[in-house]
């Protein structure tokens, strides 16, 4: 299937890219790996007049760590590079697991961290061909006025379906944005808007250039659990990232849990704070797992039913906490066991 027509701009530096964004305004769209945008363009979900291909910005492709700045990831680091980084596997296992679980090796080779974080929200009524959507009359998010998932409402429930974001939320990452007004750095949690149409707090003329994970979060035990039907290719239908630091007595000193694919934005679980200062108790774990389904509000935007996805969120949270707290190997819930041992 062919792409709609566009003018291709391939900047060689960030400055050139920002300049182009300014020049073409809302008619321009950024593409890096293309794994999200290109199939959507084939479906005519996007028909930008200008496509800004940023792959040439070598300055945005890095994975580095130092004790002051922490882990720094360039927006153009590929998912493969992140999943194959021995440093990340050792110090930030939750991110390693999340990255290694994304789509398939073929897609990870092209897909970038920036693209994964800026992934468009997904819905069964939205990610369809132009013919299909036209036959239905469009939806709230594209070319229509009705939400087919929650008829009568004017809120878009399309689900954010990236895997890196929950891992990075759990690791307290910040994102760096470059724009004509200079650079800014904001917590990743503030980067997202829980609305399937608004999605990101990123101005049209800004470019996501990198991500930073504070050094203090290095070495946290972490688990990423993911619901999908196939163990490859599929987007998550629900995902849980959890990290924990406990002291020698088994007391939880720090813990964070984030959810993906069950809301229009990836969400940190506020109740995870209740774990701090506690020793393991099945009751407490159950309580947190139960709380998780208050945060997860999936609708019928994907293959599995909302009930099942919420149920799985609860099980994943409980299993992740048990495994982290009791020091067990993660169970098969998307993370690839054989890779973890490498």
Partner 1 sequence: MSAGSIPNSPVGSRVPMVDSFEKVTGAGKYADDLVLPGTLVGKILHSPHAHARIRRLDASRAGQLPGVFAVVTGKETPVKYGILPIGHDERIFADDKVRYIGDNVAGVAAESAEIAEEALRRIRVEYEILPAHLDLEKSMRAESNLIHDGRPHNIEKEYHHHFGDVEAGFKAADLVRFDRFDCAEVTHAALEPHSTLASFDDDGKLTVWSSTQVPYYLMKTLAATLEMPEENVRVIKPLVGGGFGGKSEVIPLELAAAVLARKAGRPVKITYTREEVFYAHRGRPRTIVELKTGVRRDGRLTAVEGRVIQDGGAFCGYGPVTMLYSGQLLNALYDIPNVKYDGYRVLTNKPACGAMRGHGTVNVRYAFETHLDMIAAGLGIDPAEIRRRNLLKPPCVTINGLRILSYGYPECLERVAEASNWSEKRGKLPFGKGIGIAGSHYVSGAANPIIRSDQPHSTVNLELDGEGTATILTGASEIGQGSDTVQAQIVAHELGIALDRVKIVAADTARTPIDLGSYSSRVTFMAGNAALAAAREAKRQILNAAATYFDVPAERLVLEDGRIFEAGNRAKALPLAQAVLLAAKPETVLRATGSYSTPAEARGGKYKGAGVGPSPAYSYSAQVAEVSVDVETGQVTVERIYAAHDCGKAINPLTVEGQVEGSVWMGLGQALEEEMVWKNGRLMNAGLLEYRSASTLDSPEIRPILVESADPEGPLGAKEAGEGSLAAVIPAVANAIYDAVGVWMTTLPITPERILKALEEKQRRTGS
Partner 2 sequence: MTKQKILLHVNRATQELEAAPNRLLLEALREDLGLTGTKCGCDDSSCGACTVLVNGRPAMSCLMLAASYQDAEITTIEGLAPGKTRLSELASLQRAFAECGGVQCGFCTPGLILTTCSLLEKTPHPTDAEINEALSGNLCRCTGYTQILESVRRAIELMEKESAGEVVRP
Q: Of these, 129, 183, 281, 342, which contacts partner 1 (CB under 8 A)? A: 129
Which does residue 321 bind out of partner 2, partner 1, none, counting CB within 5 to 8 angstroms by kind? none
Count the residues in the chain.
342
Backbone angle region of 219, left / alpha / beta, with phi > 0 → left and psi within -120 to 50 → alpha: left
**Residue 8 burial by CB count (10 A; 0-12/13-18/19+): exposed, middle or buried?**
exposed
Establish if 200 lies at the interface with partner 1 (CB under 8 A): no
Which does residue 49 bind out of partner 2, partner 1, none, counting CB within 5 to 8 angstroms by kind? none
Establish if 233 lies at the interface with partner 2 (CB under 8 A): yes
Q: Of these, 154, 232, 281, 305, which contacts partner 2 (CB under 8 A)? A: 232
Q: Toward partner 1, which CB reaches closer, 109 or 204? A: 109
Place of tokens 């009524």: 125
Q: What are the residues whose beta carbons fall under 8 Å from the beta carbon of 230, sequence distance 6 or more? A: none
Establish if 231 lies at the interface with partner 2 (CB under 8 A): yes
Establish if 104 lies at the interface with partner 1 (CB under 8 A): yes
Establish if 201 lies at the interface with partner 1 (CB under 8 A): no
Exposure on the CB side of residue 209, measured as CA atoms within 13 A: 19
Which 84-103 positions form the footprint of partner 1 (CB under 8 A)? none
Establish if 154 lies at the interface with partner 1 (CB under 8 A): no
Q: Toward partner 1, which CB reaches closer, 208 or 313? A: 313
Q: Toward partner 1, which CB reaches closer, 204 or 305? A: 305
Establish if 7 lies at the interface with partner 2 (CB under 8 A): yes
Collapsing DSSP to helix, strand or coil, 319 comes out as: helix
Q: What are the residues whose beta carbons fall under 8 Å from the beta carbon of 212, sequence distance 6 or more? A: 69, 70, 71, 72, 73, 173, 174, 175, 176, 185
Alpha helices in the chain, H assignment, sequence order: 14-24, 37-42, 79-84, 86-91, 93-100, 105-110, 113-117, 130-136, 164-170, 188-191, 282-295, 306-326, 337-340
Q: Toward partner 2, which CB reaches closer, 145 or 230? A: 230
Quote the distance between the C-alpha of residue 173 and its chain's center: 12
Tell me the site size for partner 2, rule CB under 8 A: 33
Instruction: Output DSSP code: residue 205.
Output: T
Q: From residue 34 to residue 73, what is the string marking binding to partner 1 with x (rule CB under 8 A)?
A: ----------------------------------------
DSSP state letters, 139-167: BTTBB-S--SSSTT-----PBP--SHHHH
Which does residue 124 bind out of partner 2, partner 1, none, counting CB within 5 to 8 angstroms by kind? partner 1
CB count in 10 Å sphere of residue 231: 12
What CA–CA distance (Å, rounded) separates 253 from 324?
A: 12
Exposure on the CB side of residue 247, measured as CA atoms within 13 A: 8
What CA–CA distance (Å, rounded) separates 238 from 235?
A: 9
* Nearest-approach distance from CB 34 to partner 2, in angstroms: 5
Q: Toward partner 1, which CB reaches closer, 42 or 245? A: 42
End-to-end CA distance of the chain: 39
* Nearest-approach distance from CB 259 to partner 1, in angstroms: 16
Joined together, the tokens standing for residue 70 give: 């922490």
Q: Of these, 25, 26, 58, 105, which contacts partner 2 (CB under 8 A)? A: 105
* Nearest-approach distance from CB 306 to partner 1, in angstroms: 11
Pairing of β 252-260 and β 267-268:
antiparallel
Q: From residue 54 to residue 73, what is the string marking binding to partner 2 with x (rule CB under 8 A)?
A: -x------------------
Establish if 6 lies at the interface with partner 2 (CB under 8 A): yes
Q: Which stretch binds partner 2 (CB under 8 A): 106-114, 153-161, 195-203, 294-302?
A: 106-114
Residues in touch with partner 2 (CB under 8 A): 1-8, 10, 33-35, 38-39, 42, 51, 53, 55, 80, 103-107, 109-110, 129, 231-233, 336, 338-339
């Amino acid at each position: 299937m062919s792409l709609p027509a566009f003018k291709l701009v391939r900047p060689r530096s960030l400055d050139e890219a920002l300049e182009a964004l300014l020049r073409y305004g809302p008619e321009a769209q950024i593409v890096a790996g293309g794994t999200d945008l290109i199939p959507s363009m084939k479906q005519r979900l996007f028909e930008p007049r200008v496509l800004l291909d940023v792959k040439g910005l070598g300055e945005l492709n890095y994975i580095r760590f130092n004790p002051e700045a922490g882990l720094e990831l360039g927006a153009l680091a590929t998912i493969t590079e992140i999943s194959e980084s021995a440093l990340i596997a050792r110090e930030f296992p939750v991110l390693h697991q999340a990255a290694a679980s994304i789509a398939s090796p073929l897609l990870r080779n092209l897909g970038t961290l920036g693209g994964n974080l800026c992934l468009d929200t997904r819905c069964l009524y939205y990610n369809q061909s132009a013919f299909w959507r036209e036959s239905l009359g469009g939806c709230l998010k594209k070319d229509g006025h009705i939400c087919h998932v929650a008829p009568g409402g004017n809120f878009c429930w399309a689900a954010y379906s990236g895997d890196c974001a929950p891992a990075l939320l759990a690791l307290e990452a910040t994102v760096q944005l470059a724009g004509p007004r200079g650079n800014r750095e904001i917590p990743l949690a503030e980067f997202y808007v829980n609305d399937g149409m608004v999605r990101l707090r990123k101005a049209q003329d800004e470019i996501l250039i990198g991500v930073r994970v504070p050094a203090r979060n290095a070495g946290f035990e972490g688990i990423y659990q993911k619901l999908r039907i196939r163990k490859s290719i599929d987007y998550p239908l629900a995902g849980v990232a959890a990290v924990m630091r406990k002291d020698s007595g088994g007391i939880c000193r720090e813990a964070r849990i984030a959810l993906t694919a069950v809301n229009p934005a990836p969400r940190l679980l506020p109740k995870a704070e209740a774990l701090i200062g506690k020793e393991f108790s099945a009751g407490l774990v159950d309580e947190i797992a139960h709380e998780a389904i208050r945060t997860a509000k999936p609708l019928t935007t994907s293959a599995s039913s909302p009930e099942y996805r919420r149920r799985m969120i609860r099980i994943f949270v409980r299993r992740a906490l048990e495994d982290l707290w009791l020091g067990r190997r993660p169970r098969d819930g998307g993370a690839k066991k054989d890779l973890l041992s490498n």
